[in-house]
Amino acid sequence: MIEKIAECEKRFEYIEQELSSPEVTGDLEAYKNYMKEYKSLTPIVEKYREYKKALADIADAESLLDSETDQDMRDLAEEERRSARERSESALQELKILMLPKDPNDDKNVIIEIRAGAGGEEACLFAAVLYRMYTMYAEASGFRCELLGCNETELGGFKEVSFTVEGENAYSRFKYESGVHRVQRVPETEAQGRIQTSTATVAVLPELEEVDFELNMNELEITRHRSAGAGGQHVNKTESAIRIIHIPTGITVDCQDERSQIKNKDKALKIMKSRIADLYNGQKEKELATERRSQVGTGDRSERIRTYNYPQGRVTDHRIGFTVYSLESFLNGRIDEMVDALTAADRAAKLANS
């Protein structure tokens, strides 16, 4: 591993030189690619240099211990050696994490789809709660959100809602949210005060570029129809809504959020591309099911991943057994503690497997 990291440092130094050359600075595409690689190598190289510095400090301390007779100086050297060893071990552990194979989708934007599950209108209301939670978290984290489409109920819930989250490493922060989310609370629609259990499913899909996945337009059936549901004056008056069906799989996407038919079509195609790619990738990943079961974040949307318990004011993630006892704060978008715990558990599992 150290040899690989040393090669990373050499590559880093080469790119550093290239970034100052007129040939690269004058080529926007080359400069962009070099900067992307430079940025990805920076944390590895910085940590590697910390590691080398710690090793050098250990060697200096041991040299002093071999030559020094004064006890006070020996005590100082021994303390420096102990401290340097701790630093070297810590840096080495962090390097192991940094050198884990990176998810190629981590730095991509995401499409998030939330659908009401079991529980009728209460499930729709819970879907709206999740939508609010994710958009608040995204905005607080510096990401940009854009609504792609929704099917709203009369009480303000969502049968389904989809939106994009754009920003650096968006997928890495949202990818563990895929799955079945369960809520336990007294519904607004419940007159007897009884606690009800309802669910909503969340799908987190990396937004793909043309080079990632090519959509065969001949396999699509695209139709126009009038918008439906609560909305502005244009609803039900113009055929601006777009429905796209992928004939081989039956996947259907409806988009009616925009007044412009062209914008709705663009959004629907973006969702369709990510859904189909997700389906195909899921089929490939089934071949690695045994390995992935030992890791967090399998993305299986049939798996119940989390429970939001209102009476007890807690949120529990069942994959890692992690509980947060601040439900209100969590639902207001403060979910970093949970995301960080899931990320750490995933890394630990990958380290164990490696």
Strand, helix or coil for residue 283: helix
pTM value is 0.68
For the stretch 323-327, contacts whose Cβ atoms lie closer than 8 Å and that sit 24 or more positions apart, written own/partner, are: none
- What mean pLDDT is reported for the chain? 85
Q: What is the pLDDT of residues 88-101, one digit of tens each?
A: 999 998 898 888 88
pLDDT for the residue numbered 187: 80
Rg (CA), the chain: 26
E strand spans, 101-230: 110-116, 144-152, 158-166, 179-185, 196-206, 220-225
d(CA 354, CA 348): 10
Give the confidence band of 259 by pLDDT, cuts at 50, 70, 90: low
User: Which residue ranges form the domains of the chain, and what is each CATH number?
Assistant: 2-98 (no CATH), 110-287+301-349 (3.30.70.1660)
pLDDT over threshold 80, residue 47: yes
Compare 61 and 248 and report the one with higher pLDDT. Answer: 61
Which residues make beta-bridge pairs with 251?
Answer: 246
Give the confidence band of 295 by pLDDT, cuts at 50, 70, 90: very low
Element (H, E) at 268: helix 261-285
Give the confidence band of 257 by pLDDT, cuts at 50, 70, 90: low
d(CA 50, CA 186): 53
Show Cβ contacts of residue 319 under 8 Å, excluding neighbours closer than 6 positions: 296, 297, 303, 305, 342, 345
d(CA 174, CA 189): 31
Q: Which 8-state DSSP code applies to residue 234?
A: T
Residue range 5-27: mean pLDDT, rounded: 91
Residue range 297-301: mean pLDDT, rounded: 44
pLDDT for the residue numbered 9: 93
Residue range 116-143: mean pLDDT, rounded: 95
